Structure 1
């Protein structure tokens, strides 16, 4: 396939602006190449293959088990379960930019379904699967008393308690498809939201209404990456209660990697093939905070210190562990600023460093702008955390793989 065919494939999936970002050229240059007005340089073909297009044919291996990837983001949970031999048969993600990053990193066959808005997908149209995966957003909801519902002639229980939330879409698919297991991921605060009532409802639905054996645990990503990031993981099995968190192997915090392990070396060993690096492997100046922004952040922090508040920036060195990377990192980078010495302004992490901070390999493609990339990685999961949970889940899947589905929803 020559460079023009590769360019045509890329432009069927990405806009000229996005292709230009990936190739570090102006969108007008991409258009001129595509129209044949100018000839692309020799490096362009390899750059398109490496940065934008999936390599080779879709995998033909049926996998040890099948799974669906709901609220998929950029595929962090999928990555972890593929490492354990799973095969994805259905994906849903509404954000078009996340979909582009996802599509650039996973090459699926014609039997794979990619839906956008899961709320508009009928549960009967979701393929059969062994495991349901969902990093679902949890919108606030409250629970009214059953007696009040009855008095008003309104429904209660499963059909009402979760209606209007995105968890409802997870629950209705579980109810219809009865997968062998599920894994749900959310922020730690889900446990305490609405004085614990939200979480209590979710667990009640999963255990008592849907009939799954449910275990949950808050896990900090800093066991595996240099970032403090606590997330709750909810695991459920349909036919077995043998799953145990005791099998989880979490490295001690003191043995966990520090920021130096994910930062660019800036010694020339990393090539300028990474868009955020210059020709000599130095991080580009655009990631260094301006004098105006750095002064503002320091003054803002000082003002809040005087009031006894903890607000401020997070200045770190290669020997440290960072705060939680958030989706707002693109605004000023204040939660994780890399020190460049006392007399120099600090810098933001680059998108590639954010990918590493979340446990993605350097082969993970980033075909979107820095702003979009920061949002995507800030919303993602720590891949090694999910991979470790997947590792202890899979043996229980294999034990029950031949067991027929149980349609009963009675509590265990």
Structure 2
């Protein structure tokens, strides 16, 4: 891997020790593996169901996965890590949330991380943060960036979507990358709308949903439990984002997908040419694939479908994060 800036230098990314905060189902962990970016030596989340999925999918070594409140973080948690990856709660900044910013109690864990970055003697050399579009204009983001600059980090900011890296799904997200002086970025005051090493993939070059999803698409088509009820089709048809297997796009899947219909993600039409189309939800397996998770990713049987949608809606796009990690 190479760093940007004057006097660019190479370093062995495989040796990086990673701390993953708000680890959820391990999207950042999988992105690290995909990018060949070190190993996660500590993953922290307070959600027991998310931790169950993380353990099931990643089989972490003893002591790596910790069920802790981020508010309990201390300077010692930064002592032996090189990189910090995190996706803090987005509700205080989301257009579907309350946008209370720092007044929302759910920002307290991020504020704790920001304070530790300000005061800890030892701090990570590299940081990647993911959040919703809108976070970049928040007070929470301003506070974090101010602290990072005061500690000598150089920053790069991005607004990116998975359809820019070949995935037929729109999910615009804000990314903040920070590196200490040894690995500094070239200075930029702008938010990048494309990856510097990979130009956007034209919509016509994106794969069709049925090709991208493969056997998972066929399995979901035959799963009657995914079908929408007739009364819901009649009520919500005008506001649904309906796609077919031949489409090369899908909308962002939120944590409310499968429970609420309006604005939570696309719906598949099974017989688009008929006046009363049969419609179905995307399965959690399909949503995971569109979120960049590998085909071998799975949930424990005890995790309900509603919980799976919720966990996926709170996760990150693995492929997109992996591309950004390569910039370190």
Give the match for residue 22 of structure 1: none
Are 2:308 and 1:381 aligned?
Answer: no
Provide TM-score, normalisation by structure 2. 0.79
Q: Provide the rounded CA distance (Å) in 2 between the counterparts of 1:207 and 1:345.
A: 54
Are 2:82 and 1:130 aligned?
Answer: yes
Structure 1 residue 172, shift from structure 2 partner: 3.4
Give the match for residue 177 of structure 2: 235
Indicate how the Cα distance of structure 1 residues 261 and 127 shifts in structure 2: closer, same or farther if over 3 A, else same: farther
Give the match for residue 115 of structure 2: 172
1:202-233 CA deviation, whole Å, 9 max, x = no partner?
A: 3222213x321111111111123111111111
Q: Provide the rounded CA distance (Å) in 1 between the counterparts of 2:161 and 2:45.
A: 25
Give the unaligned 5+ runs of structure 1: 1-61, 144-161, 271-276, 302-311, 394-412
Give the match for residue 253 of structure 1: 202
Considering only aligned residues, what root-mean-square deviation do their CA atoms show, in Å? 2.7
Structure 1 residue 296, shift from structure 2 partner: 1.4
More helix by share: 1
Indicate how the Cα distance of structure 1 residues 287 and 203 shifts in structure 2: closer, same or farther if over 3 A, else same: same
Q: Provide the rounded CA distance (Å) in 1 between the counterparts of 2:63 and 2:278.
A: 51
Indicate how the Cα distance of structure 1 residues 338 and 130 shifts in structure 2: closer, same or farther if over 3 A, else same: same
Give the match for residue 293 of structure 2: 360
Q: Provide the rounded CA distance (Å) in 1 between the counterparts of 2:133 and 2:248.
A: 23
Of 221, 230, 244, the residue aligned with 1:291 is 230
Q: Contact 2:47/2:67 (CA < 8 Å) preserved in 1?
A: no
Give the match for residue 49 of structure 2: 97
Give the match for residue 316 of structure 1: 243
Give the match for residue 402 of structure 1: none
Indicate how the Cα distance of structure 1 residues 266 and 390 shifts in structure 2: closer, same or farther if over 3 A, else same: closer
Q: Contact 2:221/2:270 (CA < 8 Å) preserved in 1?
A: no
1:138-161 CA deviation, whole Å, 9 max, x = no partner?
A: 543469xxxxxxxxxxxxxxxxxx
Give the unaligned 5+ runs of structure 2: 1-12, 93-99
Q: Provide the rounded CA distance (Å) in 2 between the counterparts of 1:203 and 1:174.
A: 11
Mapping 1:137-286, distance limit 5 Å: 137-138=89-90, 139=92, 140-141=100-101, 165-175=108-118, 176=120, 177-193=122-138, 197-208=139-150, 210-224=151-165, 225-239=167-181, 240-242=183-185, 247-254=196-203, 255-263=205-213, 265=215, 277=219, 283-286=222-225
Indicate how the Cα distance of structure 1 residues 111 and 73 shifts in structure 2: closer, same or farther if over 3 A, else same: closer
Please say which structure displays the higher CA radius of gyration: 1
Q: Provide the rounded CA distance (Å) in 1 between the counterparts of 2:102 and 2:327.
A: 34
Q: Contact 2:111/2:140 (CA < 8 Å) preserved in 1?
A: no
Q: Contact 1:73/1:380 (CA < 8 Å) preserved in 2?
A: yes
Give the match for residue 330 of structure 1: 258
| SS of residue paired to 1:165 | helix
